[in-house]
Structure 1
Amino acid sequence: MYRSELFIFEEDKPYPAVIRNYNEDDFDELIAIQAECFPPPFPTELLWNKEQLHNHVTFFPEGTLCIEIDGKLVGSLTGLCVEMDIFSTAHTWHEITDGGYVRNHNPQGNTLYIVDISVRPRYRKFGLGKLMMQSIYHIVIEQRLKRVLGGGRMPGYHKHAVELSPQQYLDKVLSGDLQDPVISFLLKCGRKPVQIVDNYIEDEESHHYAVLMEWKNPFL
């Protein structure tokens, strides 16, 4: 199981932090974090429930990460393994994650697929999402998986959808002309765009589009 102890800084003051696997004792806080991270109009039925979280820690506990700062749970990242030769790149979040229940986790899969990453808004300035992403890269290397893959929302797209296609919007993010809260973050984590997928998830801000973002294991 995974546990990494480190410090994060607010200005010049260090705070002890831990990245570890989450467990059943964390479920209530994980649900609260999701509610903070995805307020309306994000569909409430897409937020975690305890059955989903139980499946996460049962089917693939190595892919369940959370981060604590000074003992407070402030973020999480969840993944499952899939065999990407089986799936075309044109899939939905619901199809590839089993609606978040991850009953389709494949222990022999070659790809760690990101189901979700969430950080409480108050703590987003600390780069915690990037730290958790780096931790999942460690797990991919340790388990000799080929890559990390996941669909990144484009929550800034609705501001430009009248004049830009999804591909044009992505191109402007890649050129630095626009910043997107999710896609720009994933780029900074070392992920690269593979393809735009429509009807990926019910998400009005993204007009239901997502960008499949990949990180390849450099040792394979």
Structure 2
Amino acid sequence: MFKRLRVSDGRRMVPLTIRNYARGDFAKLVALQEQCFPPPFPSELWWNEEQLSEHVTRFPEGALCAEIDGIIVGSMTSLRRNIDPNTRHHWSSITDEGYIRNHEADGNTIYVVDICVAPNFRKLGIGKWLMQSMYETVVRLDCDNLLGGGRMPGYGDVANEMTPEQYIEQVVEGILHDPVITFLLQCGRLPIGIATNYLEDEQSCHHAALMEWRNPFKKERV
């Protein structure tokens, strides 16, 4: 994957490169995680070099970064798995705690491990371009779908008033806004269920919405 384009925040146009990240990018990727997940988020949960090495070795097609003027301002990581979307799962088990050693080269699903964009660059649509680029990977590899658990950080504020399912329904209908789920909806992903105890995430009450994008060009298996 390598593409060059220009993106805008409505005020300025800047050049953006989306490409596969490599070993020479590891320090910049860790620095990006530090920007995106500052304290009190535990630093031991940022990417480490062993995890990043597994990403670029096992599934380099699923290791994407966004770069502006030589600065990595966003990244997205995925793996392939054979997944029944109706089967209950957790982030740690489905992604091997982010190490993706359980990557399946013939997996029917591309599963999102992580996506992040540096705070100072979040009005340029970089997250959507990363997501679109991963959709292209789904199509190119003839996978069934892209799937991943979306945090629902707004849910904690209304958890005493509604179930997670009711919350997601109201976000889909536009009654409520959630910074993560609304973004994923704008990228074309749709909720297909709720995963409980998906992550240690108090804002989401430890829930996540399973958000799917189905490959519209899926070839029929012979």
Task: Report TM bin, short chain.
Answer: over 0.9
Offset from partner CA, 1:140-170 (integer Å, 9 cap, x none): 1011011000000011111111222211211
Q: Which residue of 2 aligns with 1:59?
A: 58
Q: Which residue of 2 aligns with 1:7?
A: 6
- TM-score norm. by structure 2 comes to 0.94
Amino acid at match of 2:21: Y
Q: Which residue of 2 aligns with 1:44?
A: 43
Question: 1:44 Cα deviation (Å)?
Answer: 3.1
CA contact (8 A) 2:191 2:212 kept: yes
CA contact (8 A) 2:98 2:113 kept: yes
Q: Which residue of 1 aligns with 2:139?
A: 141
Q: Which residue of 1 aligns with 2:33?
A: 34
Q: Which residue of 2 aligns with 1:201?
A: 199
What is the rounded CA distance, in whole Å, between the counterparts of 1:145 and 1:109 in structure 2? 7
What is the rounded CA distance, in whole Å, between the counterparts of 1:154 and 1:179 in structure 2? 10
Is residue 151 from structure 1 mapped to residue 149 from structure 2 by the alignment?
A: yes
Q: Which residue of 1 aligns with 2:19?
A: 20
Consecutive unaligned residues in structure 2, runs of 5 or more: none
CA contact (8 A) 1:100 1:115 kept: yes
What is the rounded CA distance, in whole Å, between the counterparts of 1:133 and 1:23 in structure 2? 19
CA contact (8 A) 1:56 1:78 kept: yes
157-166 or 57-66, which deviates more:
157-166
87-96 or 103-112, which deviates more:
87-96
CA contact (8 A) 2:7 2:15 kept: yes
61-70 or 155-164, which deviates more:
155-164
CA contact (8 A) 2:73 2:117 kept: yes
What is the rounded CA distance, in whole Å, between the counterparts of 1:156 and 1:174 in structure 2? 13
Question: 1:15 Cα deviation (Å)?
Answer: 1.3
Q: Which residue of 2 aligns with 1:106?
A: 104
CA contact (8 A) 1:20 1:66 kept: yes
Offset from partner CA, 1:148-205 (integer Å, 9 cap, x none): 0000001111111122221121111111111101100000000000110110011111
What is the rounded CA distance, in whole Å, between the counterparts of 1:93 and 1:25 in structure 2? 27
Question: 1:12 Cα deviation (Å)?
Answer: 4.2
What is the rounded CA distance, in whole Å, between the counterparts of 2:196 and 2:137 in structure 1? 29
Offset from partner CA, 1:31-79 (integer Å, 9 cap, x none): 1111221233434332211100000000000000000112211000000
Is residue 80 from structure 1 mapped to residue 79 from structure 2 by the alignment?
A: yes
Amino acid at match of 2:2: R
Give the aligned CA root-mean-square deviation in angstroms.
1.3
Q: Which residue of 2 aligns with 1:94?
A: 92
CA contact (8 A) 1:92 1:200 kept: yes
CA contact (8 A) 2:5 2:17 kept: yes
Q: Which residue of 2 aligns with 1:129?
A: 127
SS in 2 for 1:99: coil
What is the rounded CA distance, in whole Å, between the counterparts of 1:62 and 1:52 in structure 2? 15
SS in 1 for 2:122: helix
Q: Which residue of 2 aligns with 1:120?
A: 118
Moved over 6 A (4+): none
SS in 1 for 2:96: helix
CA contact (8 A) 2:9 2:125 kept: no
- TM-score norm. by structure 1 comes to 0.95
